[in-house]
Amino acid sequence: MTDQNPTPENEGSDDPVVNDKRKIDPETGAVREPGEGQVGGASGTTPGAQDDQAVADVPGPDIEAEELIEAEGPDVETSLSDADLDFLSGQSSAEDLANERLVDLQRVTAEYANYRKRTEANREVERERSVGDTVKALLPVLDDLDRAQKHGDLEEGGSFTTIAQKLRAAVERLGVTPFGAAGEAFDPTIHEAIFQQPSPDVTSEQIADVVETGYYVGSTLLRAAKVVVAVPAG
């Protein structure tokens, strides 16, 4: 900084007065004592410089050079100690912290496995529903084939019989399974009784005749079988 206010001794002189207020000597790097490096009047300072020096001597938040260098040194410790880890994790030791992380990992792995199972099960249900919607349009055709077979219209070796066999095979490849036959036990969860026929030959409810065959798509019930039920007489 420069201070061009002349002192009383060099009043009338046009030469500037320079005050060096740097606290560190640029040549030696040493810390200067107050008042060093100032050029001025008889005492080495001017009245303005004395005021500036008084302001500079007031304690403030300035950081000394040695403190700044020490704070920015490369040897500053930044790693966390075991005590810091214990404080941050709330655990008594690093082994407890590792065990907790292992439990978390096992829980996440189990949750992911359950998610995959649910996803695969839902995907299979959606596939069966889609196939069922398609096969439902073919059920009347399959029912006509069953009736034709009962009436003897599907002769062995006939062209119409070959077509019926190919259609049934194609439906089975889609995962469609027929069920319901005479002599089976009646199950109201999968059989629909359209008529009851008393019979002395049975001791429990049995299927006497199948009016419409029931069908499964995978594990999904596509249609219940419509049957005539034989019940014990009397």
Tens of pLDDT, residues 38-92: 544 444 444 444 555 544 454 444 545 445 445 444 444 556 666 565 656 554 5
pLDDT, tens digit, 9 for 90 and up, residues 38-51: 544 444 444 444 55
User: According to the model, what pLDDT value does residue 1 have?
Assistant: 44
Q: pTM to 2 decimals? A: 0.49
Mean per-residue pLDDT, 119-147: 87
- Provide, rounded to the nearest whole percent, the portion of the chain with pLDDT above 70: 65
Q: Is 229 a residue whose pLDDT tops 90? A: yes
d(CA 227, CA 207): 6
d(CA 160, CA 152): 12
3-state SS, residue 206 = strand
Mean pLDDT of the chain: 75
Pairwise pLDDT comparison (178 vs 154), residue with the higher score: 178
Pairwise pLDDT comparison (140 vs 66), residue with the higher score: 140
Listed in order, strand segments (DSSP E) in 200-234 are 206-212, 214-217, 220-223, 225-232
Q: Is 134 a residue whose pLDDT tops 70? A: yes
pLDDT, tens digit, 9 for 90 and up, residues 170-212: 999 988 999 999 889 999 999 999 989 898 888 899 999 999 9
Q: Is 101 a residue whose pLDDT tops 80? A: yes
Q: Is 115 a residue whose pLDDT tops 70? A: yes
Q: Is 16 a residue whose pLDDT tops 70? A: no
Let me know if 76 is exposed, middle or buried by CB neighbors in 10 A (0-12, 13-18, 19+). exposed
Q: Given the structure tokens 């959606």, which residue do they identify?
A: 126
User: According to the model, what pLDDT value does residue 178 have?
Assistant: 93
User: According to the model, what pLDDT value does residue 152 have?
Assistant: 83
d(CA 217, CA 138): 13
**pLDDT tier for residue 133 given thresholds of 50, 70 and 90:** confident
d(CA 234, CA 225): 26
